[in-house]
């Protein structure tokens, strides 16, 4: 890993030196982003008996919105190397108000990104198609039952830092040029949670946290098979779980892999993904040394059809995670299933309408013999909304 970092650092230095004599214009920032909102109506409650203190008793309707503003710019030096910057501002109050804040260089050597961003497991991913209810499904912040899922298991079919930390973190990415349809990507992130301006310094290795020193490797392919388009990817990652003190054994290190494939023909897109994360723990907590490992698997299947301004699609996702109870694995896994059926219509440049129906089912390992009905639930939710891109 050190050799990889040294090589990448040297590449940046060479790029800077090679472009120092250029007469390119100074980088000027432009604005972009989106604003999306939706109205939800339906039924979503946990399985606790109606009228009991554990019943959720949710409303039958709700509003949702989310927006971001992008500040981006680039310049091209006389030698053809491009340099740029991206900073994304959350449109609502957030614990990480500015995210995806990074600089990049692009040339015949490939692309280098440095800063707070995602890694290859997300950026190189293919196979997730069919979700037309924009921003309200996989890896989204919207859940129909209260403020979260009753079993605590959301749906996120990404690996790497996107699957472990679920937020963009300070890292270095390198992507090769695409050759004969193939591209490789490599990412390294020293410290989980290094999302602010301080970033990751020479931090202590005794924080007891998971998802540190993540190495995220991906490869994808885009091409044609006859008249059909083919896109596929594979991903592997590993990370480190820190000890809490010198001489104390650290918890299990989380790692995993995934892959996906999608095929397009005559307006149709059909695709699927699979992600496996080993020793992920529950709620992001480290698995203690000597304890059984807990794994998470996520399966995604989808199909969509687009013609002119119209698009329709359907998607199915199942996430399941092993849970430790009393020092041993439960005989049941936590499981969340999600189905969406929806459509979109482009009113004009940057203005899209979307709508559809979501079906959710939450099962929990704690509810063996119906002992914890509040940790399980179902929901059927209709969604209609719009997205302005600018």
pLDDT score of 251 more than 80: yes
CATH numbers and ranges of domains, the chain: 2-21+35-195+208-389 (2.40.160.10)
Share of the chain above pLDDT 70, in %: 90
Position 125 scores a pLDDT of 97
What value does the mean pLDDT of the chain take?
88
Among the ranges given (20-34, 239-253, 325-339), the one the predictor scored with the smallest mean pLDDT:
20-34
| Residue range 70-84: mean pLDDT, rounded | 95
The more confident residue out of 136 and 332 is 332
pLDDT score of 95 more than 80: no
- Residue 243 CB-density burial (10 A; 0-12 exposed, 13-18 middle, 19+ buried): middle
Six-digit token pair at 306? 């687009």
Total count of residues recorded for the chain: 390
The more confident residue out of 142 and 195 is 142
Position 320 scores a pLDDT of 95
pLDDT score of 2 more than 50: no
pLDDT score of 138 more than 90: no
CA distances from 85 to 31, 75, 121, 330 (A): 12, 10, 21, 47
pLDDT score of 316 more than 80: yes
Among the ranges given (25-34, 130-139, 341-350), the one the predictor scored with the smallest mean pLDDT:
130-139
pLDDT score of 275 more than 90: yes
Among the ranges given (17-31, 145-159, 259-273, 282-296), the one the predictor scored with the smallest mean pLDDT:
17-31
Position 198 scores a pLDDT of 60
Q: How confident is the model at residue 348 (pLDDT cuts 50, 70, 90)?
A: very high
pLDDT score of 66 more than 80: yes
């Amino acid at each position: 890993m050190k050799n990889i970092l040294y090589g990448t650092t040297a590449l940046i230095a060479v790029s800077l030196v090679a472009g120092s004599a250029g007469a390119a214009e100074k980088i000027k920032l432009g604005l972009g982003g989106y604003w999306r909102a939706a109205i939800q109506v339906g039924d979503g409650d946990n399985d606790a008996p109606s009228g009991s203190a554990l019943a959720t008793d949710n409303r039958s309707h709700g509003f949702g919105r989310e927006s971001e503003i992008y500040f981006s710019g680039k310049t091209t030096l006389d030698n053809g190397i491009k340099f740029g910057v991206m900073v994304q501002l959350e449109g609502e109050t957030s614990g990480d108000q500015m995210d995806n804040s990074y600089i990049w260089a692009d040339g015949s050597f490939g692309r280098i990104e440095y800063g707070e961003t995602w890694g290859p497991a997300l950026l190189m991913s293919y196979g997730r198609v069919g979700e037309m209810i924009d921003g309200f499904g996989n890896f989204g912040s919207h859940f129909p039952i209260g403020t979260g899922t009753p079993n605590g298991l959301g749906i996120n079919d990404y690996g790497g830092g996107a699957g472990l930390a679920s937020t963009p973190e300070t890292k270095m990415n390198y992507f090769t040029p695409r050759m004969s349809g193939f591209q490789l990507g490599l990412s390294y992130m020293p410290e989980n949670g290094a999302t602010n301006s301080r970033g990751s310094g020479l931090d202590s290795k005794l924080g007891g946290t998971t998802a540190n020193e993540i190495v995220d490797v991906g490869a994808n392919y885009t091409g044609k098979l006859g008249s059909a388009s083919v896109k596929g990817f594979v991903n592997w990652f590993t990370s480190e779980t820190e000890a809490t003190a010198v001489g104390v054994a650290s918890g299990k290190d989380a790692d995993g892999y995934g892959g996906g494939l999608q095929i397009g023909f005559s307006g149709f897109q059909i695709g699927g993904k699979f992600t496996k994360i080993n020793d992920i723990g529950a709620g992001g907590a480290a698995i203690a040394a000597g304890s059984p490992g807990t794994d998470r698997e996520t399966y995604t299947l989808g199909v969509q059809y687009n013609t002119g301004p119209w698009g329709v699609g359907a998607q199915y996702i199942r996430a399941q995670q092993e849970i430790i109870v009393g020092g041993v694995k439960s005989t049941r896994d936590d499981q969340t299933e999600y189905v969406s059926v929806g459509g979109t219509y482009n009113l004009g440049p940057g203005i899209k309408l979307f709508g559809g129906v979501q079906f959710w089912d939450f099962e929990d390992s704690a509810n063996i013999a119906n002992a914890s009905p509040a940790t399980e639930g179902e929901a059927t939710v209709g969604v209609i909304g719009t997205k302005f891109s600018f």
